[in-house]
Amino acid sequence: MIKNFLIEHGEYHDDKCFKDLTTLKMGGHIAHFVLPNSVDDLKAIIAFLKSNKINFKVLGNGSNLVCGESDYNGVVISLKRLNDYEIHNDEVYVQAGVMAPALANILAKQGLSCLEFASGIPGTIGGLIYMNAGAYKSSMADIIKEVLVLKDDELIWLNNDELNFSYRHSIFHDHPRWVVVAAKLSLIKKSPEIIQDLMADRLRRRKETQPLEKASAGSCFRNPENDFAWKLIDAIGYRGFSINDVSVSDKHSNFIVNNGDGKAQDYLSIAYQIQDKVKEKYNIKLVMEVEKFNC
């Protein structure tokens, strides 16, 4: 029943694993995986799953997820096919499945600025909104005008001031069943050359300072107020620390990387040790930035 319904509304697979769908390359088998063909298909799928009390998880690029190795007997919905965008002067309508770096490059060529900070974040627009992702003292909250949300089986637009944005937080953390479908972004016109030069410089810096060659979920911890997580991790001596095939990066100690066959239990064991030792030594509670799922 589930499979037949999903096939009617999108591209269906029953052979996917979280290991294949996340940048950390960890996680077990997924019973049902579907990419809805349209917003209407997404609405129909979620309504069907809710009415039949079937567990589901909405996925962007999986760049901020730590997934356990046990099988997931539910439905994973990827928004990658919701990838339309429209540029109207200095405003952009963009669906949730568009990759942020791709959009940043498109906008740069059009001379539209303010998304440069996201050019090196390997996530979808929907995922970046969910996390209020940011870099270089900028974040999604700075450029969001409105977000189209699938809420209680209805599509509604929420204004920026209704989204409860704060550091790496949005209203969607408090309402995990709400789904980001699209957004309107407000941008600023600038010289394409200036924008592209800035993005190239930041990419160079990321390559120099972050372990982009290794599988990871990005920064493991949020930066505490007036401090940096990596400095605290260095101070407790955990740079390079390993458990089995998972380790704290030698290049950037706020990245915990998968060296090939890493498991979520080892990732989380390292993260919890770091939290405990930083709390013990500095009385600072490091908050995990990554999302745990099926762990």
Which token pair is 139?
A: 């974040």
Taking a C-beta distance cutoff of 8 angstroms, is the pair 258, 279 a contact? no
Rounded distance between C-alpha atoms, residue 170 and residue 79, angstroms: 19
Is 170 labeled as catalytic in the residue annotation? no
Rounded distance between C-alpha atoms, residue 249 and residue 167, angstroms: 24
Runs of H (alpha helix) within the chain: 2-9, 18-21, 39-51, 100-109, 125-131, 171-174, 192-209, 229-235, 264-282
Taking a C-beta distance cutoff of 8 angstroms, is the pair 150, 181 a contact? yes
Q: Which of 113, 139, 170, 219 is catalytic?
A: 219
Is 291 labeled as catalytic in the residue annotation? no
Taking a C-beta distance cutoff of 8 angstroms, is the pair 179, 158 a contact? no
Q: Which of 113, 116, 139, 168 is catalytic?
A: 168
Is 219 labeled as catalytic in the residue annotation? yes
**What positions carry a catalytic annotation?**
168, 219, 289
